[in-house]
C-alpha cells in the first residue's frame, strides 16, 4: 500500500539528494533497484521466450522497410506514423539481421520500462511501482511485442512517462516544477505522438482537462508542445500526400473499417488467446481461464482507486485510471475489429492502481487473516503467470511458422527467377515481397499504390509475379502468365519482354 507510513515516506524530501538506510545505501539507489530488476528480467524474458530469429511480421515489414537500403520500401498507409521507423533506423539502416534487430529492441524496451516506472518516483512506494511494472511486463502481449518493430508498446511507455511526470509537476505546485520533470512530460508526449498521434490524443485527454482546471501553464506548454512536436511530421505528410489533415484522418478511418459506434469488447476478448489481428473477429472465445484476468482487471483497478480515495491521495491514482479509460475507448467502442496490442497503453496505466490494490489486499484484514489474504494474492499471481506464458509460447510458435512460410515462398520465387529488382502483387504481396527482396504493388484495397497498366508495363522490364490466395482468382492481367503452386498459393509469373 501507498498510504500511512509508506505514503509519508514516498512524499518525503531527501536532504542532500539521498537518505541512507540501515545499510548506508543511498535511498535513490534503493528506490531504483526494484524497477531496474523488473526491467532486466523483462528484457531477459523477451530474449528467452520470443525467438530472436523470428522473422518480421507484416506491419514490422512496413515500418522497417522505410529505412533499409537492402529492401524496397513497402506502401505506407494513412493511419501509420514514422515513429517506429525512426526507432529502428540506427540499426536497420545498415543491417539486415533480424536477430540483431530483436536484441536491440528487447534492450530498448527494457530501458523504456525502467524509465516509465522511474517517472512515477515519489508518487508511490518502489514496491508498488515494481509490482505495476511486473504486471504489465508479464502480459503475453507485452512480452510478444516488446522486441518487435511495432508502435503500441512505445505509446504505453510514453503514456507512463507523461502521466507520471505530469503528476509529479502537479504535486510540486506552481513555480516549483523541476525543469527535468517538465522535459519528461514533453518527451513522453512526443514519444506517443511519434508512434501514433491519434492514440496520444486519446491518452492525454483527461490530463489536458486537469491541467486546464489547475491552470498550470508550464505543464500545459510541456504537454501540448510534446504532442505538437511528435505529430508535426504526420500533419505535414497529411498535407503533402493526402490533401490535408482532414483527408488523411478520413482515409485512416476508412482503412480501419470506418470509425463509429462499434462495440469491440467481445472482439478484444476473442483476441486474448494469441491472435495478433482479429479481423474479421469470428470464432469461439478463448478458455475462461485465459480471459479471467481481463475481466478482473477493471475491478481490481477500481479497488485501487477506492484505496487511494480512502487514503486521501486520489489524484495519483484517478489520473492514470482516467487516461487508461480514454486510451481504451476507441479500441473497445469505435472500431469493428481487434488486436490485443491496441490496449497496451491502457494496460500500462491501469497497472499502477492494480498494483496498489494488490498490496492493499495482501495486507488486508486482521493479523490472523493477513497470511490467508497474502496467500490468495500469491496464488492469483502464479495463475496469471502460468496463463500469460502459456499463451505467449503458443503465439510465438504460430508466428514463427507463418513467417517461415513467407520465407519458403520467397525461396521458391527465387528458384523461378523472380529476383531483385522485381515486383509482387496480390495476396500477401507485402510480406512475401520483403522476404523475396521485391517491391509490392496493389491495385485496390487499403494498400492501393499502382494500377494494372503499370504492373503490365513493369513486367516488360523486370520479373513480376501475381500471388493468389486459397479460393481466390488471379487478376485479369495475369491469367495468361505461367501458373505455379507454392504452399497454398497460386503464383503466376509474367514472361519477361
Distance of CA 366 to the CA centre of its chain: 41
Non-local CB neighbours of 328 within 8 Å, separated by 6+ positions: 343, 346
Measure the CA angle with vertex 322, ends 319 and 324; round to 5°. 110
In-domain check, residue 392: yes
Give the CA dihedral 52, 291, 41, 378, nearest 10 degrees: -150
Domain identity same for 262 and 201: yes
Domain that holds residue 461: 417-493
Give alpha helix (H) positions in 119-151. Answer: 126-137, 140-145
In-domain check, residue 27: no
In-domain check, residue 18: no
Neighbours of 36 (CB within 10 A): 17
In-domain check, residue 350: yes
Predicted pLDDT at 10: 39
For residue 216, the number of C-alpha atoms closer than 13 Å in the C-beta half-sphere is 24
Q: How many domains does the chain have?
A: 2
Give alpha helix (H) positions in 12-68. Answer: 27-49, 58-65
- The dihedrals phi and psi of 173, each to the nearest 5 degrees, come to 95, 165
In-domain check, residue 445: yes
Nearest-CA neighbor of 114 among 138, 133, 136? Answer: 133
Domain identity same for 261 and 347: yes
pLDDT tens readout for residues 224-255: 999 999 999 999 999 999 999 999 999 999 98
Q: State the helix-helix crossing angle for 152-172 and 83-92, rounded to 10 degrees.
A: 110
Domain identity same for 392 and 450: no
Domain identity same for 292 and 432: no
Q: Residue 227: helix, strand or coil by DSSP?
A: helix
Predicted pLDDT at 6: 39
Domain identity same for 247 and 128: yes
Domain identity same for 485 and 442: yes
CA–CA separation, 76 and 81 (whole Å) = 9
Domain identity same for 390 and 442: no
Domain identity same for 48 and 77: yes
Domain identity same for 480 and 337: no
CA–CA separation, 138 and 146 (whole Å) = 11
Domain identity same for 294 and 353: yes
Predicted pLDDT at 20: 40
pLDDT tens readout for residues 2-19: 443 334 333 433 333 333
pLDDT in tens, the chain (497 residues): 344 333 433 343 333 333 344 444 566 667 789 999 999 999 999 999 999 999 999 999 999 999 999 999 999 999 999 999 999 999 999 999 999 999 999 999 999 999 999 999 999 999 999 999 999 999 999 999 999 999 999 999 999 999 999 999 999 876 566 889 999 999 999 999 999 999 999 999 999 999 999 999 999 999 999 999 999 999 999 999 999 999 999 999 998 888 889 999 999 999 999 999 988 888 889 999 999 999 999 999 999 999 899 888 899 999 999 999 999 999 999 998 999 999 999 999 999 999 999 888 777 655 666 777 778 878 888 999 999 999 999 999 999 999 999 999 999 999 999 999 999 999 999 999 999 999 999 999 899 999 999 999 999 999 999 999 999 999 999 999 999 999 899 999 999 86
Domain identity same for 302 and 239: yes
Predicted pLDDT at 2: 40
CA–CA separation, 88 and 337 (whole Å) = 28
In-domain check, residue 23: no
Domain identity same for 392 and 422: no
Neighbours of 96 (CB within 10 A): 13
Nearest-CA neighbor of 468 among 443, 447, 485? Answer: 485
In-domain check, residue 372: no
Q: Can you give the length of the chain in residues?
A: 497
In-domain check, residue 352: yes
Predicted pLDDT at 16: 35
Amino acid at each position: 500500500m501507498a498510504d500511512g507510513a509508506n505514503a509519508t515516506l514516498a512524499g518525503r524530501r531527501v536532504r542532500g539528494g539521498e537518505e541512507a538506510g540501515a545499510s548506508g545505501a543511498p535511498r535513490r539507489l534503493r528506490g531504483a533497484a526494484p524497477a531496474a530488476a523488473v526491467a532486466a528480467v523483462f528484457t531477459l524474458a523477451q530474449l528467452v521466450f520470443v525467438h530472436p530469429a523470428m522473422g518480421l511480421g507484416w506491419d514490422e515489414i512496413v515500418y522497417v522497410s522505410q529505412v533499409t537500403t537492402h529492401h524496397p520500401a513497402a506502401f505506407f498507409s494513412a493511419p501509420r506514423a514514422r515513429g517506429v521507423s525512426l526507432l529502428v533506423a540506427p540499426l536497420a539502416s545498415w543491417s539486415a539481421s533480424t536477430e540483431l534487430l530483436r536484441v536491440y529492441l528487447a534492450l530498448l524496451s527494457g530501458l523504456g520500462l525502467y524509465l516509465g516506472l522511474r517517472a512515477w518516483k515519489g508518487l508511490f512506494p518502489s514496491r508498488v511501482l515494481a509490482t505495476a511494472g511486473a504486471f504489465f511486463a508479464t502480459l503475453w502481449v507485452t512480452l510478444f511485442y516488446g522486441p518487435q518493430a511495432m508502435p503500441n508498446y512505445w505509446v504505453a511507455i510514453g503514456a507512463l512517462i507523461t502521466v507520471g511526470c505530469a503528476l509529479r509537476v502537479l504535486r510540486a505546485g506552481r513555480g516549483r516544477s523541476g525543469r527535468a520533470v517538465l522535459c519528461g512530460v514533453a518527451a513522453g508526449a512526443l514519444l506517443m505522438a511519434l508512434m501514433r498521434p491519434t492514440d496520444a490524443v486519446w491518452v492525454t485527454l483527461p490530463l489536458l482537462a486537469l491541467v486546464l482546471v489547475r491552470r498550470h501553464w508550464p505543464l500545459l506548454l510541456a504537454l501540448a508542445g510534446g504532442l505538437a512536436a511528435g505529430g508535426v511530421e504526420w500533419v505535414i505528410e497529411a498535407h503533402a500526400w493526402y490533401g490535408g489533415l482532414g483527408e488523411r484522418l478520413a482515409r485512416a478511418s476508412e482503412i480501419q473499417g470506418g470509425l463509429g459506434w462499434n462495440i469491440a469488447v467481445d472482439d478484444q476478448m476473442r483476441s486474448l488467446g494469441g491472435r495478433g489481428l482479429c479481423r474479421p473477429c469470428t470464432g469461439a472465445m478463448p478458455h475462461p481461464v485465459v480471459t479471467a484476468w481481463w475481466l478482473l482487471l477493471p475491478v481490481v483497478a477500481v479497488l485501487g482507486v477506492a484505496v487511494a480515495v480512502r487514503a486521501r491521495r486520489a489524484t495519483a491514482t484517478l489520473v492514470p485510471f482516467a487516461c487508461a479509460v480514454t486510451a481504451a475507448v476507441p479500441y473497445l467502442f469505435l472500431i469493428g475489429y481487434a488486436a490485443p496490442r491496441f490496449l497496451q497503453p491502457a494496460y500500462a496505466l491501469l497497472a499502477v492502481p492494480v498494483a496498489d490494490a494488490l498490496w492493499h489486499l495482501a495486507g488486508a484484514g486482521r493479523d490472523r487473516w493477513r497470511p490467508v489474504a497474502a496467500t490468495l494474492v500469491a496464488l492469483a499471481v502464479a495463475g496469471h503467470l502460468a496463463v500469460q506464458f502459456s499463451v505467449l509460447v503458443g503465439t510465438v510458435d504460430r508466428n514463427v511458422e507463418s513467417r517461415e512460410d513467407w520465407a519458403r515462398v520467397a525461396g521458391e520465387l527465387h528458384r523461378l527467377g523472380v529476383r531483385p529488382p522485381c515486383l509482387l502483387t496480390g495476396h500477401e504481396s507485402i510480406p512475401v515481397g520483403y522476404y523475396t527482396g521485391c517491391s509490392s504493388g496493389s491495385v485496390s484495397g487499403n494498400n492501393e499504390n499502382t494500377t494494372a497498366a503499370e504492373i503490365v508495363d513493369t513486367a516488360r522490364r523486370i520479373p513480376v509475379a501475381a500471388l493468389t490466395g486459397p479460393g481466390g482468382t488471379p487478376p485479369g492481367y495475369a491469367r495468361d502468365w505461367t501458373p505455379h503452386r507454392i504452399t497454398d498459393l497460386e503464383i503466376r509469373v509474367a514472361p519477361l519482354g
